[in-house]
Amino acid sequence: MKVFEGNSLEELYPQLLVELIEEGDVVSPRGIKTREISPATIVINNPKRRFIPSAVRKLNIGFSIAEPLWIMAGRDDTEMITHYNRNWLNFSDDGITLNGAYGRRIFRHPCIDNNGNLIEVNQFKQCYELLKKDKDSRQATIVLFNPYLDGSDKITKDRPCTNIIRYSIRNNKLNALTVMRSQDVVKGTVYDIPLFTMLQEVMAGLLGIEVGKYTHVMDSFHIYESDIEWMKDVVNEKYPSLYEETGDFDGRILGERYEDFEFVLNQVMCIEYYTRKNKNADIFFIIESLNKIENEVWRSYAAIIATYNLRKYRRTQEELDMLYPFVTNEYKDIFKERYRQLF
């Protein structure tokens, strides 16, 4: 197994590209040429350093925040997520929901109880309760693959790429491990690792401990040959670090109850809904709502989402400038340069 280990995703990303381009085996699933390393593992020793600042592989900033929020809210609908990335409609079987949506699998996984009733299980909360009771437990596991929904006889456009997520406390730090059947380094890694490390940080905050290492295991780690040429530009880019001068930002929601996380998530989601659904959203109400979010990382997430939506509705530059001071996390410098063109 090929193992890539480093302090941050921004440090490792050019190396991942080089290895795939130069050492990857040529395979053609569904007739599409790719270069693949199988299996492969990425180990990030400081998961708080999760974003990459590449000017070549530009992130969709709004989507990079909206997707984790959509997932943490336990959603599987297309309405919210396609507002930030229309491509997701291509994976919906009915135009309304997504079969493999991580939010439903993690926070509302459909199961059958002993009486034959359909129930929804919050696996994330179960892991929290298990680790709170037994800090040395080896059982805190989230299963995303569902044989009924994802089996070979199921006709669907959307089978989840992620199979399981594991949490464990060692040396009083929360480690996380994700196992994926498939991972595209261009379209997947830059969003998936931030997502899973954000979940890790939330869990660590609920448990009142520090974040440990993050391990990302992929059976098929690949790059499509159609992406190789422009990814070579990322390798040669030598982008600056997002974290070298600012250090780390703490997105842990420290509290004694699971509901403390749900409260902060709801604060951010209310701003997301209000600005997405209301093209005439009151800028002063948005600012008032942002001021109520105590954690600067989550306040920054909400401000980015609000700015994205106001920009999409072509609100005035003066109004966008009023939201910029609320972005104080690692996105601040990227936001300063790009918040006028967020999508």
- DSSP H helices, 134-246, are 147-150, 189-207, 228-237
Closest C-alpha among 203, 142, 210, 151 to residue 178 = 142
**Cα distances (Å, whole numbers) of residue 239 to 6, 170, 211:** 16, 33, 26
Catalytic residues: 161
In the DSSP assignment, the letter for residue 324 is: G
Contacts 24+ apart (CB under 8 A), 334-342: 334/53, 334/61, 334/242, 335/61, 335/304, 335/307, 338/58, 338/61, 339/307, 339/311, 340/311, 342/61, 342/62, 342/304, 342/307, 342/308, 342/311, 342/312
Task: Report the relative pairing of strands 210-224 and 40-44 from DSSP bridges.
Answer: antiparallel
Query: Do residues 21 and 223 touch, judged by C-beta distance below 8 A?
Result: yes
Location of structure tokens 């261009």: 186
Closest C-alpha among 65, 50, 44, 55 to residue 243 = 50
In the DSSP assignment, the letter for residue 239 is: P
**Cα distances (Å, whole numbers) of residue 325 to 32, 54, 135, 198, 253:** 45, 23, 39, 22, 21
Location of structure tokens 């920054």: 300
Task: Report the relative pairing of strands 173-184 and 2-6 from DSSP bridges.
Answer: unpaired
